[in-house]
Amino acid sequence: MLDFAQDAIDEIARQISRRNVPGTKLRIGVRGGGCSGFSYIIEFHDGPPSTRDQLFERVASDGTDVTILVDRKSLIMLVDTRVEWENTLLRKGFRFVNPNAKSTCSCGSSFSA
């Protein structure tokens, strides 16, 4: 399904910790829009997951449990995608390595399927 690099899990745990809201989860998905047709979304999610969500439970390097939600429609477009954390001189953020994307924009935040 979806693969998460350990550095991405660790960054998700750090951001949720900084937010300091009990029960916070991270939602990852795809929405129509962006310069290539579809955009990746990453947002905090409070409260219970929807019945349409797939849950991914992971553990950060420090032992913190992390829950990631992906709605089923987005999951279709994210099959076999790897989510990584990139921290370079030119870019800092999550990176989606999506084998289903036919093309991506130069910023990497949108793609066409």
Name residue 67's beta-bridge partners. 57
Q: Which domains does the chain have, with CATH numbers?
A: 3-112 (2.60.300.12)
Residue 12 scores a pLDDT above 60: yes
pLDDT in tens, 13-24: 999 999 999 999
Tokens coding 6: 């350990």
Residue found by looking up tokens 């029960």 in the block? 23
Residue 72 scores a pLDDT above 60: yes
Cβ contacts of 80 within 8 Å, gap of 6 or more: 1, 2, 3, 98, 99, 100
% the chain with pLDDT above 90: 64
Residue 86 scores a pLDDT above 60: yes
pTM for the full predicted model: 0.83
